[in-house]
């Protein structure tokens, strides 16, 4: 049974990526299967990126550029998704690029596999100039992460081991599941992983391993290169939320999960956050309490940092 042609909007959160934006928008406009909507949300940029977006999209049906005070990537994404009228959302961060047939491939998957709620695919790494990156720390990490998945066959455990989806730019998801899981949460680094694991609660996640969906740009201002202590706190909180509000894994308390967390040096911290989680009604409130407003900087009594 084929699903009717799914409408897809692209949500582009923009923050001080003016030098990459034309390439990002170009990759959207060059799709072999056109997007139904193009929604750019400028999150308080100071480099004129919103003006570039408006000029590039002038006169295009279904294209809009919105501006807001800086509120974070999660807020820009949520605003874009909220304003969309399409059934599905493809995210493109303003420094990345879509593979030319990404939308066409996702439409075929959605049409032939009714019930899919989220699709992500392969990642190609490029440098600041757009040249392929096939060696180095990030390339090695991505290869190891995918090898873990192919070895275990457990998608949820593999994403917990390493988020080899790598970026929100790799996601196409239904607006319905976005609403169901409460949207993107106020996390600086790990809002993408949290969203993936939350959607797994409802099943319907598909990894399109045989096709590259996104060109992920490596440059000096990537979020992944920021404060590692903040990243580790957010990871532990996300893993705790995954356990407190289960995401569909068959055995979240299994030895395999504990081994992954121990290898990452996050088992004790995750267990601490898991105990805290019982005092919160949902993961959104939990994140606000333990990582929002820099609460993560406060060392819990008796817990190591």
Residues 241 and 192 in one domain: no
pLDDT digits (tens, 9 = 90+) for 7-23: 999 999 999 999 999 99
Is 1 a member of any domain?
Answer: no
Mean pLDDT for the stretch of residues 201-220 = 90
Whether 219 shows a pLDDT value over 80: the answer reads yes
208 and 284 in a single domain? The answer is: no
Structural domain count of the chain: 2
* Average pLDDT, integer, range 166-193: 94
| Residue count of the chain | 305
Query: Does residue 13 sit in the same domain as residue 155?
Result: yes
Burial class (CB in 10 A: 0-12, 13-18, 19+), 87: middle
Asked whether the predicted pLDDT for residue 304 surpasses 60, the reply is: no
**For the residues 179-190, what does the mean pLDDT come to?**
92
pLDDT of res. 221 = 63
Q: Given 190, 205, 225, which residue is the final one in a domain?
A: 225
The predicted model gives 276-301 an average pLDDT of 72
| pLDDT for 225 beyond 60 | no
For residue 2, tell me if it sits in a domain: no
Express each pLDDT in 52-92 by its tens digit.
999 999 999 999 999 999 999 999 999 999 999 999 999 99
Share above pLDDT 90 across residues of the chain, in percent, rounded to a whole number: 74
What tokens appear for 292 in the block?
Answer: 């929002």
Adjacency order of strands within the sheet including 118-126: 63-68, 37-43, 8-14, 88-91, 172-174, 118-126, 205-217, 97-98
**Residue 203: per-residue pLDDT:** 77
Q: How far apart are CA 96 and CA 210, in angstroms?
A: 20
- pLDDT-above-70 percentage for the chain: 89
Q: Which of 165, 200, 225 is a domain's end point?
A: 225
pLDDT band at 2 (very low <50, low <70, confident <90, very high): low
Does 119 share its domain with 255?
no
Domain identity same for 221 and 114: yes
- What does the pLDDT read at residue 305? 27
Please tell me the pTM assigned to this model.
Answer: 0.90
Closest to 180 in 3D by CA, of 106, 118, 250: 118
CA distance 174 to 25: 22
Q: Please enumerate in sequence order all residues whose Cβ is within 8 A of that of 47, keeping only pairs 6 or more positions apart, or say none.
A: 16, 17, 18, 19
- Average confidence (pLDDT) over 194-214: 91
pLDDT class for 223, splitting at 50, 70, 90? Answer: low
Same-domain status, 156 and 56: yes
Compute the mean pLDDT over every residue in the chain, rounded to the nearest whole number.
Answer: 89
pLDDT of res. 33: 97
**Domain interval for residue 242:** 229-296
248 vs 278 pLDDT, higher one: 278
**Domain's final residue, options 225, 258, 283:** 225
**Using 50, 70 and 90 to split pLDDT, how confident is the model at 256?**
confident
Is residue 297 predicted with pLDDT exceeding 60? no
What's the pLDDT at 55? Answer: 96
pLDDT of residue 246: 66
* Mean pLDDT, rounded, for 240-244: 84
Name every residue whose Cβ is closer than 8 Å to that of residue 261 and which is 6 or more positions away in sequence: 160, 239, 267, 270
């Amino acid at each position: 049974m084929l699903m009717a042609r799914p409408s897809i909007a692209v949500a582009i959160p923009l923050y001080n990526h003016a030098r990459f934006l034309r390439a990002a928008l170009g990759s959207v406009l060059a799709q072999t299967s056109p997007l139904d909507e193009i929604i750019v949300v400028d999150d308080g940029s100071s480099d004129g990126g919103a003006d570039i977006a408006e000029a590039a999209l002038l006169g295009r049906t279904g294209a809009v550029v919105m501006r807001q005070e800086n509120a974070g990537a999660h807020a820009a994404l949520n605003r874009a998704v909220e304003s969309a009228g399409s059934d599905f959302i493809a995210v493109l961060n303003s420094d990345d690029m879509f593979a030319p047939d990404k939308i066409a491939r996702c439409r075929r998957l959605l049409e032939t596999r009714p019930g899919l709620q989220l699709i992500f695919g392969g990642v190609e790494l490029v440098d600041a100039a757009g040249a392929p990156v096939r060696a180095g720390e990030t390339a090695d990490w991505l290869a190891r992460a995918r090898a873990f998945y192919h070895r275990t066959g457990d998608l949820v455990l593999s994403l917990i081991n390493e988020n080899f989806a790598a970026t929100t730019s790799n996601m196409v998801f239904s607006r319905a599941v976005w609403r169901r899981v409460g949207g993107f949460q106020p996390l600086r680094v790990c809002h993408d992983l949290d969203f993936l694991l939350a959607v797994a609660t409802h099943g319907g996640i598909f990894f399109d391993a045989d096709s590259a969906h996104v060109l992920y740009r490596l440059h000096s201002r990537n979020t992944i290169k920021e404060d590692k202590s903040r990243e580790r706190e957010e990871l532990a909180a996300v893993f705790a939320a995954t356990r407190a509000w289960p995401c569909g894994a068959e055995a979240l308390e299994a030895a395999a999960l504990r081994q992954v967390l121990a290898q990452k040096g996050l088992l004790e911290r995750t267990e601490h956050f898991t105990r805290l989680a019982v005092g919160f009604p949902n993961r959104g409130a939990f994140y606000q309490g333990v990582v929002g407003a820099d609460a993560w900087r406060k060392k819990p009594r008796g817990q190591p940092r």
